[in-house]
Amino acid sequence: MADSTKSATLSIDGQTYDLPMFSPTAGPDVIDIRKLYAEAGVFTYDPGFTSTASCDSTITFIDGGKGELLHRGYPIDQLAGKSHYLEVCYLLLYGALPTAAELEEFESTITRHTMIHEQMHNFFRGFRRDAHPMAIMVGAVGAMAAFYHDSTDISDPRQREIASHRLIAKVPTIAAMAYKYSIGQPFVYPRNDLDYAANFLHMCFAVPAEEYVVDPIIARAMDRILTLHADHEQNASTSTVRLASSSGANPFACIAAGIACLWGPAHGGANQACLEMLKEIGSPDRIPEYIARAKDKDDPFRLMGFGHRVYKNFDPRATVMKQSADEVLDLLGVENNPILATAKELEQAALADPYFAEKKLFPNVDFYSGIILEAMGFPTSMFTPIFALSRTVGWVSQWKEMIADPQNKIGRPRQLYLGDTARDYVDIENR
Ligand code: CMC
């Protein structure tokens, strides 16, 4: 960590405390409160971590006001336009863009780790047919700890690296298998002659009965979806992975914890929830009713795919995703789809409404990714698993960074206790 450059003064009941401050390379200064409880006997209170930096990191930076997202300093629009998913994975994991030789070796390593242990197939068969693919993913990724014992010793940097490669390589296979299982089709093994995105599409859509050729435009759009979701600094699922790993838990269990957190509709589940909402709205003439519901304080309904904790201007990922949506929809000739027509009008109606403008609620990445995935033929239940497989590299990179950090200690938040004070147990006959 950088040296403290300035300090903040806190005054409590006439007693003052000097708190060191750190200046980041980008973003707001932070006040270091680590010794506050020891010195002043008070906790800070910040449920939802709206003003709290939980760690230091060199991986991803977001400026929510500017709508900027940088991975290792590189803007997301440049990466989405000029790079591709596996190169971005390398960048996130190792901190620099690879040379041609490094990239070739990395791609070959990931490609050659895509098969999962054959015995894991039996594990899948234990799930009900109608299980949500995210439920299967939480279980199957956690179960990897039982199959890959030679990469669970987190004190060994080489084992950490192997676990990282295995996770990036095998999570798509697990996601595709979860899908195939849910529709009663045979599992499709990975193919080493296809790139990462094309291989995933092949594992999802090929059947043994006939040849399946991956369209390069669709593969490129899938690669973009993966690239745009690769990492997003200390969001809920990444913080979950960090907190789970802070106890020294094995990497597969920690990534399973991240998948569980991502599943929620306020986070990665928003892409599924958004498309289901668009289907429920059904046609553009019902949009005013739903906008009114979203604005009604007594109605819990929210416009899914709108708003973001950090982006208060626009989501830079959404800008790129919107272009991709247009390309894919043109290619597939689905511009007359009623869901898409509803989505386009909803976007315009919300952007023109003062409620959404005042609260800085803009379409986020999930508003557009759901539309693309639907057009590609994925059921809504696969949207969040695809987010999970893209984000695996982010979780793994943040996990690796944390484990290698000598300051790493178990995460243990405190609380503002508002319950009963100590009282005596009352025997059951006297209650
Ligand atoms: N529709 C209607 N009102 C909204 C929405 C929405 N989508 N999002 C926020 N608001 C209102 C909210 O009611 C509140 O109003 P008030 O100040 O009058 O009480 C105000 O805006 C601030 O909301 P908040 O819940 O305090 O903001 P937050 O930063 O805690 O929540 C969010 C961020 C993403 C959870 C929220 O905007 C939301 O629930 N959006 C819909 C779900 C969604 O699309 N999530 C995907 C996020 S992008 C993918 C990812 O990174 O996981």
Q: How far is the CA of 289 from the centre of ligand 1 (A)?
A: 19
**How confident is the model at residue 100, as a pLDDT?**
98
**Ligand 1 contact, 369 CB (< 6 A):** no
**Ligand 1 contact, 312 CB (< 6 A):** no
**How confident is the model at residue 267, as a pLDDT?**
87
Structure-token match 């509803």, residue found = 342
Q: How far is the CA of 309 from the centre of ligand 1 (A)?
A: 7
DSSP 252-312: HHHHHHHHHHHTSTTTTTHHHHHHHHHHHH-SGGGHHHHHHHHH-TT-----TTB--SS-S
Alpha-carbon gap, residue 45 to 59, rounded angstroms: 27
Q: How far is the CA of 307 from the centre of ligand 1 (A)?
A: 5
Point out the residues that are catalytic: 308, 366
**Ligand 1 contact, 395 CB (< 6 A):** no
**How confident is the model at residue 1, as a pLDDT?**
63
Q: How far is the CA of 305 from the centre of ligand 1 (A)?
A: 9
pLDDT mean values, one per 10 residues, the chain (431 residues): 82 96 94 96 95 96 94 96 97 98 98 95 91 95 93 92 97 97 95 97 96 92 95 97 96 97 90 90 92 94 91 88 83 74 88 92 88 90 95 98 92 96 97 95
Residue nearest to atom 27 of ligand 1 (CA): 309
Interval 185-236: pLDDT, tens: 999 999 999 999 999 999 999 999 999 999 998 999 999 999 999 999 999 9
**Ligand 1 contact, 272 CB (< 6 A):** no
SS3 assignment for 185-210: CCCCCCCCCCCHHHHHHHHHHCECCE
**143 closest CA partner among 162, 168, 110, 171:** 171
Decide: pTM greater than 0.75: yes
**Ligand 1 contact, 294 CB (< 6 A):** yes
